[in-house]
Amino acid sequence: MKYIITLSLLFSTIVFSQENSSKSENVTFTVQGVCSMCKARIETGVIRIKGVKYANWDVLSNKISLIYNSKKIKIDDIHKKISLLGHSTEKYEAPEEIYNSLPECCRYKTNQPH
């Protein structure tokens, strides 16, 4: 009996995650930022958006790699929500007042990558 519980637990988790990833979409686009603090800001902000499963942003290329569930959120909404974090994307410019509240080192309009 206990064998069955253990094995079914193991099996169901694997199946569960496989099934889940079938609805997943991979996208890559540009998000403005300059430093490792930006990286933490962007990734933390993005992963908390409902429907986003994975986020990784690269300082040098300014590219974000995302995996999201297309049934739960539209890609346009993700762009919009990122811009509201203060970081402009290919589709949406960050609102001026939010950009101005960024920490000094994240001001990508004036700073070089560092």
Binding site for another protein (CB under 8 A): 2-3, 5-7, 9-10, 13-14, 17, 21, 24, 26, 35-36, 44, 47-48, 52-56, 58-61, 63, 67, 105, 111-114
Question: Which token pair is 67?
Answer: 């995996």
CB of 96 to another protein, least distance (A): 23
For another protein, the closer of residues 69 and 91 by Cβ is 69
For another protein, the closer of residues 53 and 91 by Cβ is 53
User: CB pairs under 8 A, 24+ apart, for 87-93?
Assistant: 87/31, 87/32, 87/33, 87/38, 87/41, 87/42, 88/31, 88/32, 89/29, 89/30, 89/31, 89/32, 90/29, 90/30, 91/29
CB of 14 to another protein, least distance (A): 6
Asked whether the CA dihedral 35, 40, 102, 32 is positive or negative, the reply is: positive
For another protein, the closer of residues 101 and 114 by Cβ is 114
CB of 51 to another protein, least distance (A): 8
CB of 113 to another protein, least distance (A): 5
